[in-house]
Each structure stands twice: as C-alpha cells, then as structure tokens.
Structure 1
Amino acid sequence: MESAATIQCTSQQTRFHIESPNYRELDIKGLQILVTSGEKKSATKGKSKVRSKDGLEILSNAELLLKEGRRYALVGRNGTGKSTLLRSIAEKLIPGIPENTKIAILQQTRLTDGAKDPKQEGRDNTGLNVLQTVIERATSRTTIEQEISTLSQGIDTSDPYAPVRALRSLKHERLQKRLFILDKDARLRSGMRGMQARKALVAFEKVVAESKRMVEQPSEDISTDILQQETQDAVDMLAQLQSQIEPALVAETETRARSILTGLGFSSAMMAKPISDLSGGWHMRAALAATLLQDADILILDEPTNFLDMLGIIWLQRYLISIGDNRKPPTMIIVSHDRDFISLCTDLIILKDKQLTYFHGDLPTYEISQSERRKYLTTMKEAQEKQKAHIEKTIAANLKAGKANDDQNKIRQAKSRQKKLDNRWGMEVSARGGRFKLNRDLVGYHFTAREEIDIPPEERPVIINLPEPPDLRFPGSLITLEKVSFRYAATSPIVIRDVDLSVGMGDQIGILGLNGAGKSTLIQTLVGETNPTQGTRNTHPRLRLGYYSQHGVEALQALGAQDETLTSLALLTQDVNGELTEGEIRGLLSQLGLPGRLASDVPIRKLSGGQLVRCALARLFWRRPHCLVLDEVTTHLDYETVTALRRALNEWDGAVVAVSHDRWFMRGAVEGGIDEGQSEDEEDDTVDGLENRRRVMYMHGLIRTHYEVQKFRPQAVESHKPRKMVTRGKPQTVELVNSVLQALSSAENRLPKPDVMVPKPDIGKRCYLFREFAAWDCEEQS
C-alpha cells in the first residue's frame, strides 16, 4: 500500500508576521517546502531545518511576498510544485500566515469530494441542490446551523439536563479551537512576547481542562440553580445564533450565488438539480462558483478555466477584474495555462529552480524583458572580459619588466592592480540600474566586493516536430460532409443540421461554440465515430486520420486501471506492432516530454494529466496522419508545451481541425496570429501563404434561450479581399466573442441576441481569417 505524501514547511519567524493587521498581505522569508512520502514524519510547522534528502524539495530559502489587491499569476513548468505551494498557503501550513486570514481555494477536485472541507465534516450534502450546496460551501451557515441544531435538539427534548450538556459541549469545542491558535502563537513567538504568550497558554489550558471536567460531570451532580441558569444560557445562545442568519443577508447571498452560477453557464433548472446529478465538468463549475462566493482575503484559483466554454472564460476574466475594483479587493493567486486568461493578472510569480521571483506585468512582457536582460548581461560580460584580458596583459608585462629590472615598486604596483582586479570585478550597477554600492547591494560576507555577472540560463525549449504526412498519390478532399444532420434518438432534438464541410490538405480549421452547441458531435461525425442521421460522409481512400478525444485522458486512465504495470512505452509498442524500433518509439516519447525511465518504468496510472496527453499524442503521431482532429487538447498541458504544439501545427503541411477554448492557442494554431516579438514581415509571409487555408467556425446549436437563432452569412465577409483588410495585433477570436458579449448586460442574460449573432460588415473588413463562417440551426431544447 502506498503511503500518503506529507508537506513540511519552515520559514523565518518574526512577530510582525503574526501581528500584521492586514490579512491580504504576506511577507515570509526563508521559506522551505518539502514533500515527503511515508508516515515517518508529520507535517512540520516549527523552526527545524528541512533536509532535501528526506523528500522532494519544492522551495529552498524562498520569499513569499503578496501585496494587497494584486492579482498574481503563478507560472512554472509541470512538476515544479505550483499546486503544492497553493495547498500550503490555503491550509496555512506555512509559519507566518495568520490564523485569522480567510483563504478560499479552488483545487482540481470535485465539489463532492468528501472530508476535504472541514466545514462539511459530519454533514451530508448529497440531498441538496446545486444552489444550496454552493451557498453552504461558501458561507459559515453550515457551522452556525450545526450549532443551532445541537442546541435545538438539547432544548426540545424532555430531558432537563440535555440543554446543559449541549451548551457545555458547544462551549468546549469553541475553547479547543481557541487553544489551538494560542498554542501556535506560543510556539512561534520568542523573547518577552513569547514568554507572555506561553503564560497565557498555560492559563488557558487550565480553562479548557475545567471545561472538559464540566462536560464529563454526571447529571446528578448538577445543582438546581446551575441547571436553571445554564438552561437559560442555552436558550439565549440559540436566539443569538438564529439572529445571525438574517433573511436579508440570506437573500443577498442567494442573489450573488445565482448571478455567479448563471455567469458560469447554469440555467435555473440546473441550479435546482441535486448536486449528485451533475457531471464532472459541471461539478468543477459549481466548485468554482462556491469559491468565488466566499468572502476571502486571499483567493486562490488552480486551473479555473478547465471545463469552461469561451463565454464562461471571458465572463470569469471580467468578473475577477471587477471584484478587483472593490474597496477592499482580495489578493488573488491564479494558475492557468491559458495565456489570454492570465492577462488579467497584474503581477507574475515565477516558480523556478526552487525559488520564487516576482515581476510586475504580464507574461509576454516578462518574456521580452528576460530576453533583453539576458542580452544586456551577455554584452556586459563580453565587454568586461575583453577589458579584463587587456588589464591582465598589462599586469603580466609590468611583472615581467619589474622582475627583469629588479624594480620592486613596479612589482608591488602590478600585484596591487591584480588584487583590485580580482576583488572589484563584476556588476557595476545595482538591480535597479543605479550605481553599485557595496553596503547596500552586497550585504553580508562575500569573497569579492562585486557581485558576479550571472547570466540567467535559457530554459530548455519544448520542441514538437510533427511527422510529414505521406503522399496521397492523387488529389481530393480528405473528409467531406454533405447536408449532414444528426440526432441521438428519433424523438430527441437535432444536434446539427445540414452541415456542409470539406477538409483538404493544408486546411487549418478551428471550431468555436458554447458547451452543448454540438462541437463534439460534429467532430465525432467528422471522424466517423457516429453515423449521420441524414446526409453523407466521404473520405479519401488513402486517408490517415489522427483523432484526440476530449476524453482521451480518461481512456488512458482506464487502460492503466486494467493493467497496473502498463507503461507508455509498452502501450506504444503494442500500437506500432513492429513498424517502429524501440529507439524510434523512445525518441518520439522523449520529444513529447516522456523521456527515459519515465516512459519505460512509470506505469500509466501514475502519470499526471499532462503526461497522459503527451502519451495520447504519441499514439497519433507515429501513424504519420494526413489530418489531425484535436478536441480540447490543451486542457492538461503546460503553456510551454502548448506553445510548442501551437507552433508545430501552424507550420505543418497536413490538415488540422481543432476545438479549443484557449484563445491564444486558436489564434496561433488555426488563425496564424502574430506571436509576441514576431515581425510584421513574417506575418505578411504567413498571410500570403495561408490566407486560403484558415477557417474559424462558430457553432450555436442547442442554445437554451428564448431568442431566435440566426445563421452567419458567409457572403458578408467574402465580399472583401482578405489580404488588404488585415488589422495587425488584433486578436480575431476575441473580436468575434466580444461582439457576441455586447449583449451581456447582466449575468442572467449571458446568451447573445440575434442582431449580435449576425456578423456586421466592419467585422468582416477587419478579420481576414473569417472568410467562411459555418453555423448550424437546431431545434430549441425543451
């Protein structure tokens, strides 16, 4: 049986950490986080040093710095420990986080995962509907209602001693919680304040011990006067607790909860459903709603865009920006591989090499600044090395001349210059760009009086090389759909209707739409997994098709559960059936991020979500497909891998059909959008060569709204010459979605009106890539 992992955290302690009145800020130095496996040690919150040999070290002597109201994007490659850091903050495992800090976190777990939320211990929420569950999770109503229930049960019974036992039990629980906080403060404080804290702890321990004695006191030992007094105290406490659940506050909370749920795509009917009836994706949305509803000092969101459609992502982006404008906005920490989504953040926290570095700005600006700094330091170091070589040559000549002429002054002068050269060579400017000062910029003991010029190394880039598709021998469309319609049953609504779609070599097609619009149904019909109810599907006789399903990770997890020893290397060896050598298979897996023993020794059941996606892609690429159909392929990948896949698809000669809510990925892989730092001349070449290959289609099937759904009109766009109508730097997908979002006057009205659905001429003039819109009407779902 595998042992559970334990997180050990240590940090430098000062009184200011504990006494800080601003719970929306953190300033913790000397932070070390270690993840250990096994039960030989428990979670450590003291001052003892953490040894890296005992487990996996996430942070080493790092600084955790959060400023009030800032929105931080935590970035780092898969496996660097981002989720571990977030969990350490949320569970207050890090010494220095005040106990009174209110922290709300969205983790990558389902809302119904029991025993993970201490608020819900001992309470069964399976019978509650979605709205009730979200409110229960987000507020303290659960704790208050539990206390009300305890007192009510004691008062409403015929036992005269029951109210006293309920009152004493409730008071004892509150005292134990207070004792935990005092004990922690006493352990972390030092000096005179530490002595006072320990005295207060000893005195309070006596109070808790007396409370425990009162709880265990037999009923016959309770006098009549005490019985009457404490019974009245129980009634008074019950009235006080009931007054805390005011109808006005409850109504306001319910209104906010409905607004957030509506913005995330829940209809009124779905809010009334039992929480247990929701699928995994909707569970994640409900968990996100509960997190957003909380009144938190620090708001932590770990991959909040998973399972959201594009409108949901943009709504969440705008909502987080809007709460940042409040009088006391929460401090946010967000982890997301959607580069467009994290553009809402004001600052970056970069987790790299067991350190945390901070940058004020967005990710593209950080990447550009790092590149410029690397270039600047390289130039500075090269110039200093040339200067140093010249000085050393002069010193050597002086030494030689001094020894030849027995000139001791010249020898001493040369040695003095050599000493200064060794001691004062390095950075000539401070970190802020000003003149270097020893007592300010190089505090502590050092062997030299200058800091060495340290050029930050470039991270090893992720490179994905897609195999060249084999020759078709004769031309023709790869896949053709003609007047295709589909419904799941004879009495069910039509999902897609009268679809005409042709996919040829070199086509790059992106499909957008709300959840439930029929995107996956269209994809399954396109690849032949489902047969159309009406219409025909034709394929090229030599077609090689690669299809990544949005449930690809779950399928691999099922294979791993069936065979616990199955590795990615063994699985791919079964797939190729001798067509590739083991070296070629290892090379393919290594290129996708599954190198060496990770591919051959680690079972599939132990791989992360991102590693499973890489394994699934390897199973597609070895076949050298003519057409890749990718349904939400970016969900579990880190942004470095998404960047590499985006670039590879953009340069590939085969056909690509992609469904994704990642706007940055769609702009690059399908639309050929310009990258940060790419020149306009390079974009011109891209537009000239690919203007006829790119298509973005927006599906609005199965829209649950009372508005009439209208078709896009392709001729409104094709009447303009695409090459002359390019607007540089404009994210075309965002323009399309923003035109839809103009109708969203409130969270309850989140779906577009007909006049917004029809593309207007100015959109067609600006967006050269929208030369062909395809949309499909459907019967309105009852």
Structure 2
Amino acid sequence: MIRATGLSLRRGTKLLLDTTDFVIHPGERVGLVGRNGAGKSTLFALLQGKLDPDTGNLDMPQSWRIASVEQEIHASTQAAREFVIDGDTHLRSLQSQRSAVPDTDGQLIAELETALADAGAWSAESRAEQLLAGLGFTPSQWMAPVNSFSGGWQMRLALARALMAPSELLLLDEPTNHLDLDAMLWLERWLAAYPGTVVLISHDTEFLNAVATAILHIEHQKLPRYRGDYDSFLSQRAERLRQQQAAWDKQTQESARLQSFIDRFKAKATKAKQAQSRIKALARMTALAPLHREAGITINLPEPDSMPDPLLRLDDVGIGYQLAEDGTRTVVQGVTLMVRAASRIGILGVNGAGKSTLVKTLAGELPALTGKLQPAKGLQIGYFAQHQLDMLDPEATPLQHMARLAPQAREQDLRNYLGGFGFGGEQALALVAPMSGGEKARLALALVVWRKPNLLLLDEPSNHLDVDTREALAEALAQFEGSVLLVSHDRHLLRTTVDQFWIVVDGKVEEFDGDLDDYRDWLQARNAANRALARSDSALDTSTGANRKEQRREQAQARQQLAQQRKPLERELLKVEAEMQRASTRLAELDARIADPDFYTEAQRDERPSVLAEHGELSKRNEELEMRWLELQEALETLGSA
C-alpha cells in the first residue's frame, strides 16, 4: 500500500500539505480532488519520485512500476502504433537486446525469446491497436505519423502509451480533457478492469462517480479520505462539516459557561476551589478550530438587452473550410435548423465530426460554404473557445483587459464586473502570465459576455476549471436568460445546463431525441453495428460469389444468436448496477451514522451491534456485486469482439 505519515509539501514558499497522513490500498481507484493550486500535481510528482517531502514520510512498495501520461510529446514521424508500444519500456528493451544478439549465441537467444514471450511481445501490436481503437483512432490512423495529429489527438496517444505500460500504479492527470463521450465510456470500462492501483486527478464529477472507489480531498493543507465515489464524498463531507460545526458550537458554549463561573466566583473564598477546578477544566479542553468554509466562486452573466425569436435560422447550410488551393472541404452539409429564444442546446458528436466547425460558422469565424445563415435583427453573439485563452495578454491584468475592451467605462464599474467572475480586490490587478488555466478561462469568459450577448456559443468552456468553478458556471448558465449552444465533454455540465440536443454525425446536423443516457446507448449500438459490418464486409470480400448468399444467412443467424446471448447478461448487469447503487447509498448512510459521536453514547448501545453488523454484511455484498459487475462487463466485451 501507499502510506504517508506527517507529510508536508511546499511549492516554492507556499505550503500545500501540512503534516498530513493518508493511505491508498492496493487495487483501489482513488480520485484526488481539490481546488486548482491546492497541490494535486505536486503530490503526483512526489508519488513519481520527482521530488522529496519537506517533512514526514511517503512509503510505497519498491517493486511497483508506475505509469503516467506524458504532458509534452515531442512529435515525430514515428507511427502512432509504434509510439504506443514504446510505453512498454521493458518490452522495447528486450527487443533491442534481441536484435543485437548474434545468431551464433543460441543460449542467449533462447533466454531472450522466452523473456519476450513472457512480456507479451507477440500480442503487443494487437494490444496497442485495441487501445487506439478504444480512444477513437480508426485503423487507417494506426500507422500515421505522430506529428500528423492535432494536439488533442496527440494527448490521446500519450494516454494510450501510458495504458500500454505494465504497471502496479497508474497516475492520471485530467485524462478526459481531450476525450469525447465514446472514448470516455471506454476508458471507464478499461479502468474498472485494471488490476493495479489508480490515482487520478479529475474535475469531471461523473467520471469520478463511474471510476473512483475512494476520494482524497486536499482541504486546508490536509488530505482526508472518503470512501466511495464523488457523490458519496459530497454527502460524507457535508456530514463531517456538520459535526465539526456542532462540536465547535458545543465547545464555545461550554467554554463560555466555564469562563462565566470563573469570573463570578474566583474572588470569593467559598467558591475559590470550584473556580480553580473550572480554570483547569478550561485549560484541558482541546481547542477546536472554528469551521472555515472555502469561499466559493460566483459567476454572474449579464442579462441581454433584447431577445428576438428566433435568434438564428440555418437554411440548407454547408459548413467546412476554404482550402489554400481555392477549393473547399465540406464537413457538414444540408443543415436546416433554428435557434429559438431561451434555447438550451447541447451539441453532441464524436471528436472530428464537426462540432467546433459548426460553432465557428455560427459565430462568424468561418463563412458558410452553401445555403443561408439568417440572423435576427438584434442578434448579439458571445463566442467562447479554448484558443481565446492564448489571445490574452500575459503582461496585462484583468482590469487592463477590461479597460481596453470598454475604455469609456468607470474603473469601479469594471472592478465590480470582474468581481462577478472571481477577480475581486487585488486579483483584478494580478498579471495574467502566472494564472492557472481555470483563471484564464474565467477572464476570457468575462470578456466574451461584457457586451450582453443574447446567444452564447461555448466550445468546451469547462476545460481547466476546478469542480467549484464548474458548478458556478453551471449555475450561471442555468440562470442566464439568453440562449446557449454548448459543446462539452462534461456530462454534469450538460445535464444541468441544456434541455435539448443537436447531434453532428455522418456529415449532418440534426435534432437528437433523447438525453445523455440515450446518446450513450446510441453510441454503443452504433459502434457494435460498425464492428459487425466491418467483419461482414471482410468476410464477404474473401468469399466467392456463390457462397455470399449463404454467408449472409449465416451471419444473420450469428448476429441473432449473439443478441440472444447478450440479453440475459445485459438484464443481469442492470440488476447488479441497481443493487450496487442501493448498497452504496445505504453504506453512505451507515458511514455517516458510525462517524457520529452520538452513536457511541449509552443511548445507542443496544442499536450499535445491528448497525455494525449491517455495515459489515453490506460491505461484503457490495464487493461481491463489484466482482460480478466486472465479470458481466468482461463477458459482454468478449461477445462484442467475437
């Protein structure tokens, strides 16, 4: 296991962790959460041995192999698949040794061939291809050079490379930032089957709910541990805060009562002895710190001055790019849709389908190739995308950015406005250069909405934002009276912000009749159908014309048989998931009760055995359910790849 005792960590002069303890058990999937700048990445560096603790100890098994995602990729002409296989450094070392051995050294060749077989050399290519396919790469891209991919896709390659490495400890820092929903769901399944220990940093609460079995929360330079997923962490933390507040209130009242007695009677001879005993009792009382709640971020979006309806019409619009050689590349065509007043629209589709191209066209950054865009009179668009963070002046302050945008506005009005985006007081005068990605995103958003848009076009606005700021953004968007078109991989933000969806698929944009769960099911069904079609086409290509009709009949029977085999597994999986949810909810209730000091009073003596027994039985049952869930997932995966 990993055990920290009395651990203190600094980054420069800033104290991040102060004599804290924590434990991570083998096989756990631990979510590491906390505000931006709290020390999550520094703790990762400590786990990787890149720095030493300032005080205390961090103990972990010496034999553990650690895998993590490289944050910088030196793009090369190396094929993507070979780049991924390079993640298995032990295998590559053996292959290098084998290639250097002369053919005359039979003994060494035999030893190396055995070692290569043990290292999975003969399945390495297929394992790398499975990782690439799961993360959204098509077979035609597997041998493409690394430098032919965009930055986001290169980060997917880095993730695949980390997953390829044999490891006992896997460290993942925001692994979903560059993934679409399809790849995210695949990664959730992969991590559920990973036999080692996972520590992951993520601000995606739904991803944490799907993956994490425990949470470590950096708070007030400590690292308390919570059992279960992110929702369980929230409920347990709320209960802990309630207990802390109650204990503080109780001690405050008791100390006031003791002090009152002392003040009244310490001068009287008849009460002097009692007063002295009260003084000793007050001195012995363990000082509890008052409850410090972290000040949250509040984002205030200005209300639009007008709201025409409809705001924007698209009539048979074609979307794409002008090419250097005077041609065009159409990404999406035949779009006929309408944006109504007060719409809340989420845009779905896999990476590369054309979501960002659609938003850029609606924002006017790209011209429509065909058809007509018909904006309403009075349409005011606010467009936010990640590239706008790079357009901020690193040597200017938030106040200077606002003054350039609105030179006629009073400084106090600009300060008040910036305060609504978390830049109050001295923060309005801080330089942009050392700001975190989340702070830059908040500033860019403030600049975008200054002109009171009635249509917000948001392309991945929550990247780099911590959980608190994501919640603030979701709340602000929910209260915004204008219309919103949102591209995001953050399922929680989509669920809490939008009420309808468009989907970009197969060169078209159309309304999607369903919610995110329906979209997940649609994706899985589509992927299964595509795999079946690929297998069918491959089989038909190798057959003779006389056998094709019979082959089609056999394939149809096989598909029907496969569906029949999957149905009982899928039904059981739903039942297991429902029971796991009930067990998790009940365990959270029992954990809160067991953590309550009143549980150990005399009044609860008769009830304690039954509560503890229920907790033990339910914990055991939950482990059995988790094992069965993994078995069912593996069985379905096997059928899906058959």
TM-score band, normalised by shorter chain: 0.7 to 0.9
Q: Is 1:340–2:298 an aligned residue pair?
A: no
Picking from 114, 122, 125, the partner of 1:251 is 122
Q: What is the CA distance between 1:386 and its match in structure 2?
A: 4.4
* Letter matched to residue 374 of structure 1: L
Give the SS at the match of 1:531: coil
* Letter matched to residue 516 of structure 1: G
Give the SS at the match of 2:36: coil
Picking from 461, 470, 492, the partner of 1:642 is 470
Structure 1 portions without partners, runs of 5+: 1-24, 37-54, 114-125, 157-231, 324-328, 424-447, 671-693, 703-708, 718-731, 754-782
Report how many aligned residue pairs link the two structures: 527
Deviations 1:95-134 (A, max 9, x none): 6445432011124x23337xxxxxxxxxxxx342000110
Aligned 8 A contact 1:524 1:530 in 2: yes
Give the SS at the match of 2:120: helix
2:286 aligned partner: 451
Q: Is 1:478–2:478 an aligned residue pair?
A: no
1:669 aligned partner: 497
Give the SS at the match of 1:373: helix
- Counterparts of residues 86-97 of structure 1 (less than 5 Å): 86-91=44-49, 93-94=51-52, 96-97=59-60
* Letter matched to residue 496 of structure 2: G
Alpha-carbon separation, structure 2, partners of 1:73 and 1:83: 13
1:27 aligned partner: 3
2:73 aligned partner: 111
Cα distance change on mapping 1:667 and 1:298 into 2, 3 Å: same
Cα distance change on mapping 1:389 and 1:566 into 2, 3 Å: closer
Aligned 8 A contact 2:258 2:282 in 1: no
Q: Is 1:513–2:342 an aligned residue pair?
A: no
Give the SS at the match of 2:152: helix
Structure 2 portions without partners, runs of 5+: 53-57, 537-642
Alpha-carbon separation, structure 2, partners of 1:28 and 1:388: 35
1:61 aligned partner: 19
Q: What is the CA distance between 1:695 and its match in structure 2?
A: 1.9
Q: Is 1:359–2:230 an aligned residue pair?
A: no
* Letter matched to residue 631 of structure 1: D
Structure 1, 518-527 or 370-379: larger mean CA deviation: 370-379
Q: What is the CA distance between 1:387 and its match in structure 2?
A: 5.3
- Counterparts of residues 620-639 of structure 1 (less than 5 Å): 620-639=448-467
Picking from 92, 112, 123, the partner of 1:142 is 92
Give the SS at the match of 1:488: strand
2:486 aligned partner: 658
Alpha-carbon separation, structure 1, partners of 2:436 and 2:244: 37
Could you tell me the percent identity over the aligned residues? 30
Alpha-carbon separation, structure 2, partners of 1:750 and 1:396: 87
Aligned 8 A contact 2:213 2:229 in 1: yes
Cα distance change on mapping 1:148 and 1:569 into 2, 3 Å: farther
- Counterparts of residues 591-602 of structure 1 (less than 5 Å): 591-602=420-431
Alpha-carbon separation, structure 1, partners of 2:266 and 2:177: 69
2:216 aligned partner: 349
Q: Is 1:133–2:91 an aligned residue pair?
A: no
Picking from 393, 403, 410, the partner of 1:573 is 403
Deviations 1:163-186 (A, max 9, x none): xxxxxxxxxxxxxxxxxxxxxxxx
2:282 aligned partner: 422
Q: TM-score, normalised by structure 2?
A: 0.75
Alpha-carbon separation, structure 1, partners of 2:23 and 2:239: 25
Deviations 1:441-481 (A, max 9, x none): xxxxxxx2x53344532110110111121135xx4322221
Q: What is the CA distance between 1:26 and its match in structure 2?
A: 1.1
* Letter matched to residue 274 of structure 2: Q
Q: What is the CA distance between 1:635 and its match in structure 2?
A: 1.1
Aligned 8 A contact 2:347 2:503 in 1: yes
* Letter matched to residue 86 of structure 1: F
Alpha-carbon separation, structure 2, partners of 1:589 and 1:299: 39
Alpha-carbon separation, structure 1, partners of 2:258 and 2:501: 63
Alpha-carbon separation, structure 2, partners of 1:747 and 1:554: 38
Aligned 8 A contact 2:335 2:509 in 1: no
Alpha-carbon separation, structure 2, partners of 1:142 and 1:369: 46
Give the SS at the match of 1:542: coil
Deviations 1:357-402 (A, max 9, x none): 11112223322333333334434444554455556556666657x5
- Counterparts of residues 8-47 of structure 1 (less than 5 Å): 25-36=1-12
1:466 aligned partner: 301
Alpha-carbon separation, structure 2, partners of 1:99 and 1:701: 50
What's the C-alpha RMSD, in Å, of the aligned pairs? 3.2
Deviations 1:326-385 (A, max 9, x none): xxx211111111110111201111112222111112223322333333334434444554
Alpha-carbon separation, structure 1, partners of 2:119 and 2:249: 69
Alpha-carbon separation, structure 2, partners of 1:64 and 1:88: 14
Aligned 8 A contact 2:380 2:455 in 1: yes
1:370 aligned partner: 237
Deviations 1:536-555 (A, max 9, x none): 11222322211012422334
Larger Rg: 1
Q: What is the CA distance between 1:749 and its match in structure 2?
A: 7.1
Alpha-carbon separation, structure 2, partners of 1:419 and 1:247: 71
Alpha-carbon separation, structure 1, partners of 2:533 and 2:438: 32
Q: What is the CA distance between 1:313 and its match in structure 2?
A: 1.0
Picking from 721, 737, 741, the partner of 2:520 is 737
Alpha-carbon separation, structure 2, partners of 1:480 and 1:530: 16
Aligned 8 A contact 1:26 1:97 in 2: yes
